Structures are given as C-alpha cells and as structure tokens.
Chain A
Amino acid sequence: VTMLSEGASMDWERFSSSTDVAEWPREAPDGYARRDRGESGNAGLRITLARDRRAPSLARNAVRAFSEERELPIESATLALLVSEVVSNAVLHSDAPVASGILLCANVLDGGGVRVEVIDGGSGFDATPLSPEAGRCGGYGLYLVDEQASDWGVDHEYGTCVWFELEG
C-alpha cells in the first residue's frame, strides 16, 4: 500500500467517513480527478455510494445511464456485469471501515470505450483472478473482469482502486 501524503490522507478521511456526494472534495483525489477532464471536454461520472449491499445496483444504474447518455458503443449487459462485480468486491472484501463509502468513476476513452474505477478506503485484496472452479469467495467476479475487460488492474495510489476498461 502506498503511503499517502498528509494532505491526501486528510481528504481521504473526509471521503471514507462520508457517503454524501456534496462532502466529497472536488479536487482532492488527484490522479482520479484528472481523468474527469477528457479530450472531448465531457465530464466523467463520479459518485459516492454507501458501502452496503445496495451499492452494486446503484452503481449499475449510474454507469448504465452514463453509457446510454453518451451512446457508447459498448455491450451494456457486459458493462453492467463488470461494474456489479467490482463494486460487490469493494463491498464484501474491503478492509475499510464498514461506514465508509465507495467512489465510482466512469470516463469515456478516446476510442469510444469506457474506463470504470471503483475506489474504496481498504488496503485491497489478493487480485489474482480465480477460475470459477476454484470456488473461493470473490474469485468469480475478478475472473469475469479478467476475461471480459480489455484491460484492468488494481492501484493503491489512493485507497484501493480497482479499474477496468471496456473497448467499444
């Protein structure tokens, strides 16, 4: 886990104890915030969700609306599934405080694809995707991401960010 700078960790405190979008510092998560201003000038999607069992459903709806609004040439069922898997992982496997939130970002890629980032306050989990046969909790979700996403990964530059990209 990357050590956070003092400034960042103060913002992180605010984020991780808040589920209210209005309280989220607009400029704080550098690296993630930067990606909001794409070449096209379109603002990306950025919402915070309470870290509970409803988060995957809310995240799917938000990303679905984002994708439809921009008429992205993406298989919407695949996008909804991957969003659901990554957010479910953040709800179930994060070691962040239960009361903390999840930050969901989506941005349009230059080729018309989409990049989704799911950020929580935890130190992350073993990101090795397991085949479904392995049957371990959490394994199925990352297996699907690994199979379907054009690229994906886990960053620890700010909490734990699991991201994936889906090409159009």
Chain B
Amino acid sequence: VEIRERADGETHVLWIEGELDLSTIPELSRHIGAEFGAGSGQALTIDLSDVTFMDSSGLRLLIELDKRAQTEGWRLALRAPRHEGAKVVLRMTGADEALPFEEDSRP
C-alpha cells in the first residue's frame, strides 16, 4: 500500500493506493495516529479512489474514525474508491450511505 499526505488549507488529505487489509491497516493507522486530537478544529479527508481492495478490517478503521471525529469534534470526509474490489464491502454493509462520503463520490 502507498500512502501520501498533503495539506489542503485546514484539511489534511490522506491518499491511499493499493489494498487495505490486515497487512496494511497498521500502516494507515500510524499515518492517522494522534494527529487529530480533541478540539483541534482540523479536518481529515481520506481519498480511497485508488484503493483496489478493502475488507472489513479497512471498514472497521473507517467506522472507528467516523466515531472519533464525532466525539472529538473534527470533520471527516471520504472520497469513495473507484475499484469494485474496494466498493463491494461498502455497499454490502450500507457503509456507502452511513459513512461521510463526499456527495459526488458515493460508492
């Protein structure tokens, strides 16, 4: 998996390419880590458009991040994957509707 970070004004953008599963989730967790603290007022966008595969380990991380964002009061936005291998788990679980995907990118 390849992960790149960039700042877009107040928004921190994480771009991920490759497969999100048991072997690559720890790396993504490290990138997100403690950067987003309570009351930081920051926003995080996770760009999943080039993720080619995702299973429930990736979904679990997104769900936990969404909860954290709500509790800690920062904004999380997701850019949906383009690849079927990553979209399928989001559709099957209803996460495509429940998680904060940017409107123009719903899986």
Identify the A interface with B (CB < 8 A).
Answer: 53-57, 60, 75, 77-78, 80-81, 84-85, 88, 91-92, 132, 135, 140-141, 143-144, 147-148
CA distance A77 to B83 in the complex (A): 9
B53 near A144 (CB under 8 angstroms)? no
B31 proximal to A (CB < 8 A)? no
> Which B residues are CB-close (under 8 A) to A77?
84-85, 87-88
B56 near A57 (CB under 8 angstroms)? no
Identify the B interface with A (CB < 8 A).
Answer: 19, 21-23, 26, 53, 55-57, 59-60, 63, 84-85, 87-89, 92-95
CA distance A15 to B82 in the complex (A): 40
CA distance A85 to B53 in the complex (A): 12
- The residue from B55, B60, B84, B87 contacting A84, defined by CB atoms under 8 A apart: B55
A141 near B55 (CB under 8 angstroms)? yes
From A91, A140, A141, A143, residue with most partner B Cβ within 10 Å: A140
> Which A residues are CB-close (under 8 A) to B19?
57
- The residue from A53, A55, A81, A91 contacting B89, defined by CB atoms under 8 A apart: A81
> Which A residues are CB-close (under 8 A) to B22?
53, 55-56, 88, 91-92
